[in-house]
Structure 1
Amino acid sequence: MRMIFINLPVRDVAAATAFYQAIGFTKNAAFSNDVASAMQWSDAISVMLLDHAFYATFTDKPIADTHTTSAALFCLSFDDRAQVDAIHAAARDAGGRETRAVKDQQFMYGGAFEDRDGHTWETVFMDMAATPPADAAPEHAA
């Protein structure tokens, strides 16, 4: 099985861990400690929350302030509209900030929010049966 590990720098590992648990991620204690939390979204996708000092050991580049600079956009897909609404509510309740309100674009339904450190997560439910031809896709695909 192929897997994806997304490594994110965070200022407070415990607070970031609590946020990700609140929005539905599961902590993998076997790969977590005081400087890192392994947060599992699915069998194939994990997010590693690394405190700034530990994250800096993996790169010689400065750590972006994602509250003011967009470094990446991650997108989570869902099985229905209710799940999209639920994660947006959970993110707001856990201290996140909605950056793009949920919007109904006919076959697509979703928006975006930031975690406590400013990392942006897009959300989407796609009704594949209602998908238009490729040349008619909306401006924001996620």
Structure 2
Amino acid sequence: MHTTMFVNLPVSDVARSRAFFADLGYSFNENFSDDRAVSLVLGENLVAMLLQRDFFDTFHPAQTADATVTKECVVCLDAESRDAVDQLVDRAIAAGGKPGDTEDHGFMYGRSYDDLDGHSWQIMWMDPSAAQAE
């Protein structure tokens, strides 16, 4: 049905957010980035648009949530292994992110962190063959 997903998230400082996610190893699509927005490439067709808060506010009439106080969503991304989950979340915490929860169900493992603006990112790995057996 859909071919690409863009998640739009408000940030207080685009340059600071760019540096944080660059530290985690992510790349950016410069064709859709400027001083008000950065296009964070999460995967082949997965993009998070990190938008300066005042710019984000122009997209809708409702009040923008402060993600450090109110969770508007949790962005959940897969990783290729349990080790990859740990490596990415550990880098996020070392870069200034706030540690979140850890869940270990054997066939599924995940950890989360909040980025510099309080947005929650859940990184998870699942063994598909073991999950089908469950």
Fold shared, TM-score > 0.5 on shorter chain: yes
**Which aligned segments of 4 or more residues in structure 1 are displaced greater than 3 angstroms?**
none
State the SS of the aligned residue for 1:131. helix
Unaligned runs of 5+ in 1: 137-142
What is the CA–CA distance in structure 1 between the aligned matches of 2:5 and 2:15, rounded to whole Å?
22
Instruction: Name 1:77's counterpart in structure 2.
Output: 78
Supply the AA of the counterpart residue of 2:108.
Answer: M
**Contact 2:86 2:111 survives alignment (8 Å):** no
RMSD: 1.4
Instruction: Name 2:87's counterpart in structure 1.
Output: 86
**Contact 1:67 1:119 survives alignment (8 Å):** yes
Instruction: Name 2:96's counterpart in structure 1.
Output: 95
Instruction: Calculate percent identity across the aligned residue pairs.
Output: 35
Unaligned runs of 5+ in 2: none
Matches within 5 A, 1:1-142: 2-100=3-101, 102-131=102-131
Return the offset for 1:132: 5.4
Return the offset for 1:31: 1.0
Supply the AA of the counterpart residue of 1:90.
Answer: R
**For each residue in 1:93-141, what CA deviation from the matched residue of structure 2 results, as whole angstroms up to 9, or x when unmatched?**
11101111x33211011111100000001111001111155xx6xxxxx
What is the CA–CA distance in structure 2 between the aligned matches of 1:91 and 1:25, rounded to whole Å?
11
What is the CA–CA distance in structure 2 between the aligned matches of 1:127 and 1:93, rounded to whole Å?
27
